[in-house]
Amino acid sequence: MHKLALEHIAHSYGDKETLDDLSFSFERGKTTCLLGPSGCGKTTVLRLIAGLEEPSDGVVKIGGTIVSRKKEIIVPPHKRKIGFIFQDLALWPHFNVYENIAFGPKEKKQKNIKSKVAGLLDLFGIGDKISKYPHELSGGQKQMVALARSLAMQPEILLMDEPLANIDAHLKESILQHLKTVQRERRFTLLYVTHDHREAMKIADYIIVMEKGKIAVAGTKAEIRNSSTEFVKSFLNI
């Protein structure tokens, strides 16, 4: 069964159409990249999946259950078992690293929070930063904290919206490798949004290239590279 599926999704902001009859599904435990230029609808897709927006038409399904449909959110965001990492990471500035990661589990009244946080700190190699505040961390360290915070909630689906846009190339490579390893170990479904085809090629099992609210082409990395679609060839500089 596909963990996540969009069926005939349309979405508009006022008179501006952002998505047009969009349908695709995401395989459980795999990494899919939504790739395309700014304004093509990538972030809107994430917001619909998370339940932060309602579709103008169509349905969103998680595990075969309809969670949103035309102009209606059926399952609210906090009940979807979804983690969402925004481009600005949105760490709590007045919380230290431990408090940022532990916040969600405490709200959910999970057990063994200290040991879970410690395990995540070790996993991401930031155990020595446990008492640091966000302003005391490097960009890469903040990214690791944001990842740890999301995984602390044990999401079945993790959504990432241009998370490495402001990270330098060398550090970006390291974080991508780390993320790929953790995703494979924990087997959550990862949907990763980027405008950088190099990021997509490094991390994705499957790539969906978007153009003006529609799917230009979708497939494996090899299929994307070999696409004959003019837009895709131009966007990837093939």
Return d(Cα 227, Cα 221) in angstroms, integer.
10
Asked if 165 and 129 sit in the same domain, the reply is: no
Asked if 133 and 62 sit in the same domain, the reply is: no
User: What does the pLDDT average to over 56-77?
Assistant: 95
Q: What percent of the chain has pLDDT over 90?
A: 61
Q: The CATH number of the domain where 167 resides is what?
A: 3.40.50.300
The answer to whether the predicted template modeling score (pTM) of the entire model surpasses 0.85 is: yes
**Domain assignment of residue 198, given as a range:** 4-81+155-235
Asked if 164 and 61 sit in the same domain, the reply is: yes
Residue 150, in any domain of the structure? no
Rounded (10°) CA dihedral 107, 68, 53, 24: 110
Is the pLDDT score of 213 beyond 60?
yes
Asked if 75 and 99 sit in the same domain, the reply is: no
Query: Which residue's structure tokens are 């609808």?
Result: 41
The Cα-based distances of 106 to 77, 97, 138, 142, 161 in angstroms read 18, 14, 26, 21, 25
Q: How many domains does the chain have?
A: 2
Confidence of residue 123 (pLDDT cuts 50, 70, 90): confident
The answer to whether the beta carbons of residues 61 and 49 sit under 8 Å apart is: no
Phi/psi of residue 22, nearest 5 degrees: -90, 125
Write out pLDDT tens, residues 131-182. 999 999 988 889 889 989 998 988 999 999 988 877 778 778 888 888 888 8
Asked if 61 and 159 sit in the same domain, the reply is: yes
| Maximum Cα–Cα distance across the chain | 53
Residue 148, in any domain of the structure? no
Confidence of residue 224 (pLDDT cuts 50, 70, 90): very high
Tokens, residue 192: 């990763």
Asked if 190 and 211 sit in the same domain, the reply is: yes
Asked if 127 and 169 sit in the same domain, the reply is: no
Q: Is 170 exposed, middle or buried (0-12, 13-18, 19+ CB in 10 A)?
A: exposed
Most confident of 31-40, 102-111, 160-169, 177-186: 31-40
Is the pLDDT score of 1 beyond 50?
no
Count other Cβ atoms within 10 Å, centred on residue 138. 11
